[in-house]
Amino acid sequence: MPELPEVETVRRDLEDALVGHRLGEVEVTGARTVRRLGDPGPLVERSRGRLVEGVGRRGKYLLVRLDGPDVVVVHLGMSGQLRLVAEGTPALPHTHVRWLLEGGGELRFVDPRTFGEVWVARPATPGGLPTELAHLGPDALEDLGDHRALGRILAARRRRIKPTLLDQRVIAGIGNIYADEILWTARIAPHRAAGALSAAELRRLQAAVRDTLLEAIAHRGSSIADEQYRDLAGAVGTYQLRHRVYGRESQPCARCGRPVRRTAEAGRSTFSCPRCQR
């Protein structure tokens, strides 16, 4: 599933390509993609002919802000892609939404597994979040603050740190890949209690969240074996070539040389170093 670095890469691409441009005709062929709305009518009627004023993000959700009060919300799910192509380019299989762009080009939402969503929302305040996203915690890149703020978020939480990082209600944007990479960088074992970290461990964790996410964005995200994450132009990311533990079971730890171990946390495959991470 695309996580914060992949979604932020797409957000930056969209911002460069769409801001100041007007959406033209809209075609929706995937009923499941617009399941939150019940039918494609609201998305078509409220995005057609509208000017794109900005592209934001909260966690793993993209927010395409239109002139007026409406926002197009996109969640890529497990296999969703946004692709910008020349008008008339043959559609990829599983293309569920198409926006023509005035002046040429098409923005397409492609989603083979159909876990992604697209809908149009009206935030209560200008620039605010749609109510459907009110459950999200602070954004892992933009809103986390320093180690003291992170400590307040994690305080008194008895859950293990790995599933806590995965809980979008606690911190928005981190998924399975980056939770493992962050914990390895911070030298914290995934089974540790989230609320029992020391001040020194919180400093390392806060720095690891920031540094890991920024490094992944710089390498345009991770495209793992299925390569279903692609950017707006259809290119894969390269951060998977720099993973220290994720997907590296039995390979030597990049820090100490001990074989990376694969376990399960909250039903998710978890990769860690049994020597480095305590």
| Whether 166 contacts 268, CB under 8 Å | yes
Which residue of the set 22, 157, 159, 268 is catalytic? 268
Q: Is 278 a catalytic residue?
A: no
Residue 54 has pLDDT above 90, yes or no: yes
Q: Give tens-digit pLDDT for 195-250.
A: 999 999 999 999 999 999 999 999 999 999 888 999 999 999 999 999 999 999 99
Average pLDDT over residues 138-166: 95
Question: pLDDT at position 78, please?
Answer: 94
d(C-alpha 59, C-alpha 254), whole Å: 29
Residue pointed to by tokens 């109510």:
131
Residue 124 has pLDDT above 90, yes or no: no
Q: Give tens-digit pLDDT for 6-41.
A: 999 999 999 999 999 999 999 999 999 999 988 999
Average model confidence (pLDDT) across the chain: 96
Categorize the per-residue pLDDT at 156 as very low, low, confident or very high, splitting at 50, 70 and 90. Answer: confident
Is the pTM higher than 0.85? The answer reads: yes
Q: Is 40 a catalytic residue?
A: no
Percent of the chain with pLDDT over 70: 100
Q: Is 57 a catalytic residue?
A: no
Residue 3 has pLDDT above 90, yes or no: yes
Residue 125 has pLDDT above 90, yes or no: no
Categorize the per-residue pLDDT at 175 as very low, low, confident or very high, splitting at 50, 70 and 90. Answer: very high
Residues 6+ apart with CB under 8 A from 218: none
Which residue of the set 11, 50, 58, 60 is catalytic? 60
Which residue of the set 2, 5, 123, 163 is catalytic? 2
Q: Is 169 exposed, middle or buried (0-12, 13-18, 19+ CB in 10 A)?
A: exposed
Which residue of the set 3, 8, 106, 117 is catalytic? 3
Percent of the chain with pLDDT over 90: 92
Q: Is 60 a catalytic residue?
A: yes
Q: What is the 3-state secondary structure (H, E, C) of the chain?
A: CCCHHHHHHHHHHHHHHHCCCEEEEEEECCCHHHCCCCCCHHHHHHHCCCEEEEEEEECCEEEEEECCCCEEEEECCCCCEEEEECCCCCCCCCEEEEEEECCCCEEEEECCCCCCEEEEECCCCCCCCCHHHCCCCCECCCCCCCHHHHHHHHCCCCCEHHHHHHCCCCCECCCHHHHHHHHHHHCCCCCCEHHHCCHHHHHHHHHHHHHHHHHHHHCCCCCCCCCCCCCCCCCCCCHHHHCCCCCCCCCECCCCCCECEEEEECCEEEEECCCCCC
Q: Residues for the chain: how many in total?
A: 278
